[in-house]
């Protein structure tokens, strides 16, 4: 028979169980409401109560004791500066457990663990405002990106048009110069034909073959 061994093992080793509670504590302080199984919620409730009590006490030593369990500076800061001051006039009982019934998959009893001053409607309104702000920021970034891309494409098209026009003008000038060099000035007149020389006026003064005339007799 086991004596002086309180708490559930939850089917985990000691290190795994501590890591589980550390993550659940961090999530509960961050969101002020978590959904888990009923045995886990019952074991987690005393731990979060001790954390809030240390937050109410304040001081460097209390903060270091909390950091031993929750090694996340922003989470510990929220516990000491936002959550703990809300319970200064309360001696204990900072959280509550709401049963949700059994889970469809394995039949485990589910529950919600939350702070007693948790306001569901206020939290939903805050989430809507945050989602709206994020959507507006996303739309503004998309509009800026579209403007930037359209401006670049317009500048590029104008530059390409000017480059094409300059190349076309240079090509036309080059073709005109070639035509001037290739065509002699005498051939520019209409109906002009080059004069033909007398028959047999080759380079050697011979006949049609361009050689010396054959000797006869």
Domain 14-118 carries which CATH code?
3.90.1030.10
Could you tell me the pLDDT band of residue 149, with boundaries at 50, 70 and 90?
Answer: confident
Q: 80-119: buried (b, 16+ CB within 10 Å) or exposed (e) per residue?
A: beebbeebeeeeeebbeeeeeeeeeeeeeebbebbbeeee
Q: How sure is the predictor about 144, in pLDDT bands with cuts at 50, 70 and 90?
A: confident
For the purposes of burial, counting CB atoms within 10 Å of the CB of 74, is it exposed (0-12), middle (13-18) or buried (19 or more)?
A: exposed
What are the contacts of 9-16 at 24+ separation with CB within 8 A? 10/39, 10/40, 10/43
Q: Classify each residue of 162-172 as buried b or exposed e, where b means 16 or more C-beta atoms within 10 Å of its C-beta.
A: eeeeeeeeeee
pLDDT for 207 beyond 70: no
Residue matched to tokens 């998309």: 142
Q: Residues 111-134: what's their mean pLDDT?
A: 85
Cut 0.85: pTM above it: no
Residues facing 36 on adjacent strands: 111
Burial letters 30-39, b for 16+ CB under 10 A, else e: eebbbebbbe
How many angstroms separate the CA atoms of 82 and 47, rounded? 18
Query: What gap in Å lies between CA 92 and CA 46, rounded to an integer?
Result: 10
Residues facing 33 on adjacent strands: 114
Supply the pLDDT for residue 214.
62
* DSSP annotation of 190: T
**Which pLDDT band holds residue 155 (cuts at 50, 70, 90)?**
low
Q: 16 pLDDT band (50/70/90 cuts)?
A: very high
Q: Where are the domains of the chain?
A: 14-118, 119-180
| Matching residue, tokens 């270091």 | 64
Query: What is the C-alpha separation between 134 and 128, in angstroms, rounded?
Result: 10
Report the largest interatomic distance among the alpha carbons of the chain, rounded to a whole angstrom. Answer: 154
Mean pLDDT for the chain overall: 82
- How does residue 52 score in pLDDT terms, banded at 50, 70 and 90? very high
């Amino acid at each position: 028979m086991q004596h002086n061994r309180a708490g559930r093992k939850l089917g985990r080793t000691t290190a795994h169980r501590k890591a589980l509670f550390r993550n659940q504590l961090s999530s509960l302080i961050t969101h002020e409401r978590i959904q888990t199984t009923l045995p886990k919620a019952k074991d987690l409730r005393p731990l979060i109560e001790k954390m809030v009590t240390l937050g109410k006490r304040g001081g460097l030593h209390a903060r270091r004791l909390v950091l031993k369990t929750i090694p996340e500076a922003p989470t510990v800061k929220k516990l000491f500066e936002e959550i703990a001051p809300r319970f200064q006039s309360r001696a204990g009982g900072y959280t509550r457990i709401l049963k949700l019934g059994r889970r469809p998959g394995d039949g485990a009893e589910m529950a919600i663990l939350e702070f007693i001053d948790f306001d569901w409607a206020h939290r939903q309104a805050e989430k809507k405002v945050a989602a709206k702000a994020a959507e507006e920021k996303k739309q503004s970034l998309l509009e800026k990106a579209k403007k930037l891309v359209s401006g670049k494409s317009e500048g590029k098209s104008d530059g390409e048009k000017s480059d094409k026009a300059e190349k076309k003008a240079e090509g036309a000038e080059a073709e005109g110069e070639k035509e001037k060099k290739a065509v002699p000035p005498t051939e520019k007149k209409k109906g002009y034909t080059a004069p033909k020389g007398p028959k047999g006026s080759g380079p050697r003064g011979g006949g049609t073959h361009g050689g010396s005339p054959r000797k006869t007799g």
